[in-house]
Structure 1
């Protein structure tokens, strides 16, 4: 691969300002949350929670995100993109990590889930911080780099596996949560010092200065009208909601089905997200740039839904283990990871990019806050539903995700709206 000619490499090297600060600090996620997330659900099982409770916590977390998400636009405009990201990263990640580290029962996890919902505030402000001063034609690449950074973070997964093998699941996970709180604190400080408030952020801070919270909330009516009148924004909202629901179920129950249904040892669980992430990085630097060079991203979105659907179907089809995972089990899981790494990676990048490309730029923070609130409302029930389904059969949650991905295929096929109507198809293409 010629790095000088590869569009993603070029974008990474040429990034400046806030996009560079956001992208280049993102790998610290790998030394914090990415180390512990593969164990989150099995850690809850080890402490005596059952599948339905785990699913209920996922739904509660989504409901909390709805509340914070609705307030996120106002908070982001009042405090600014930079300060909001710093303060609410502490609330959304550092505080919950401490609660998870010392958790004893269901109530600790419930409290952490409620506080963790603040991530929707910082997700809104962080997105604005990253893209508002970026070149429009580079937005899909910037989100691709964010996904690559998150995927590269999984390369540290063997550290968690060694810790679990040496200390056992429960003490190792508690240590990993404490580590996550410390490393996330470093990431928060580094991003704050390296970034600056955006131009639009300064405009919105000045415009909202002196206004009451109630008057700002009332302003959501006009913003909601902007959203409802935009077919492109509504399509982006639907794609994001379906992607969020599938991601919620996979993030909560993929490790459970691998451990409890397919007989994979706990110490091996982090290697699966690591392999998925390595494959995703390879795809983002090779195949995915070739598929997203056109302005019209319809074909790429259909491909993302279709390939991710194939991965979910393969997972459902793997026979249950009797006495432990077999060679064929690992072979099927490898195929599942190959398909998911491409499909989920495409959908993450495209769902975020479609929202950013269709949004009204003058009201970005409030429109995105409403969109994220709607996404969380739509996705929230699937945590509880998938927990109930998992209690019946550990593969049933992935039958549900397969159905959701089919809905996505139909929706994009019938209701697509071009992201750049009237422009030549060269959004992310490079000249020779």
Structure 2
């Protein structure tokens, strides 16, 4: 195949066609994702070490995670109401500004337990943004495009990971603390820019405009009271509850991997700090290859089969990490490779499956409830993971293996979705 044919094939790729078709909010938000993703991925491999290096213990790290998730439950619960009253666009902007911009400024100057706690509390505002952002992203899109849109969101974040070696090189020359402080400042500036672009180039969704009009004369207390009817509908929807349990499990395991993988490989396996930035790059490369070259070829396969395979791979990864010999880089590389494939199979489908089971007319409040439930159920496990790590750094990954087995069983019982002809169609009685 010559160059011209390759370019033509790329232009006709289903993901490129999806971007051409989905103008407006989806395309703008997808293109903006690196503004968040680049600084996040520069910092992420070193965030825990940044705390640990300044005297924050394993148990304190776990406590910070659990306290922050408790606060996130409150913000998530209010997120649907705020999104309906203020609109998807404005709420997204405010969440980016306070949840990331202000939080990163505090992280940049943090040098003790209390400042780190304040930073993660500001970061909890981001949970309000999550509800609004998802609504802004997909409400005016066709249901058949959801998997592709979520795939693009993941790709946008993954491309940013390739900048991660910069932080590794800088840390190798200037040590962890000063480099991470500067990166947090860059992160804060990026999120201000992101808020400005959202204001100029995004527009309120049709459903957002309707909900703003419907709730303009309704008090926040009354909207909170209305949850008494909405919560039972969500709890009685078996398909939503199944996906919710899987979401909780993935939230917990991501929490453990994000915060304790770096400690495990450096403190127990003896891997040098400077290599931490390269693991996310390998993960991103594998996921990009999979999402661009393979994901669209699985459209004929029902949702739960790829999800089930992905969860089996996740569980296998936990076992592999536990059994990795000290100093064995090849085992860690295999772990990252397999985990990346699992992530590409599971996460976009989980997100799309959840939205396909939600009534679009109540999307903001139901998404907020689901986010609240997810964080509430997961919140004790930050402290648990820290306590397990303080006993033996392998134990958090023994725990993730156990909960992945539970997820495998649940996904086996999930019903594959049927796509509505129009995005507003829902099953009778669906919340």
Structure 2 match to 1:148: 155
Residues 1:6 and 1:293: Cα distance change in structure 2 (over 3 Å)? farther
* Aligned mates of 1:194, 1:78 — CA distance in 2: 21
SS in 1 for 2:99: helix
SS in 2 for 1:32: helix
* Aligned mates of 2:300, 2:28 — CA distance in 1: 25
Structure 2 match to 1:334: 333
SS in 1 for 2:141: coil
Superposed CA offset, 1:324-365 (max 9, x none): x3xxx1111110011110112322212211111111111000
SS in 2 for 1:104: coil
* Aligned mates of 1:134, 1:56 — CA distance in 2: 40
Superposed CA offset, 1:262-283 (max 9, x none): 1121222111111111111111
Does the 8 A contact of 2:144 with 2:419 survive in 1?
A: no
For the pair 1:420 / 2:407, whether they are aligned, the reply is no
Structure 2 match to 1:21: 28
Structure 1 match to 2:312: 306
Gaps of 5+ in 1: 424-432
Superposed CA offset, 1:103-125 (max 9, x none): 11000111111121111110100
Does the 8 A contact of 1:232 with 1:418 survive in 2?
A: no
**TM-score normalised to structure 1 length:** 0.93
Aligned pairs for 1:7-406 (under 5 A) are 7-294=14-301, 296-320=302-326, 325=327, 329-406=328-405
Q: How far did residue 79 of structure 1 move?
A: 0.4
* Aligned mates of 1:388, 1:183 — CA distance in 2: 35
* Aligned mates of 2:131, 2:300 — CA distance in 1: 26
Structure 2 match to 1:429: none
Does the 8 A contact of 2:43 with 2:184 survive in 1?
A: yes
* Aligned mates of 1:119, 1:4 — CA distance in 2: 35
Q: How far did residue 31 of structure 1 move?
A: 2.7
Gaps of 5+ in 2: 1-5, 422-431
Q: How far did residue 232 of structure 1 move?
A: 1.6
Does the 8 A contact of 2:38 with 2:157 survive in 1?
A: no
Does the 8 A contact of 1:292 with 1:300 survive in 2?
A: no
The CA RMSD measured in Å over matched residues stands at 1.5
Does the 8 A contact of 2:75 with 2:127 survive in 1?
A: yes
Does the 8 A contact of 1:125 with 1:365 survive in 2?
A: yes
* Aligned mates of 1:422, 1:34 — CA distance in 2: 36
Residues 1:50 and 1:357: Cα distance change in structure 2 (over 3 Å)? same
Structure 1 match to 2:428: none
Runs of 4+ more than 6 Å apart: none
Residues 1:421 and 1:101: Cα distance change in structure 2 (over 3 Å)? closer
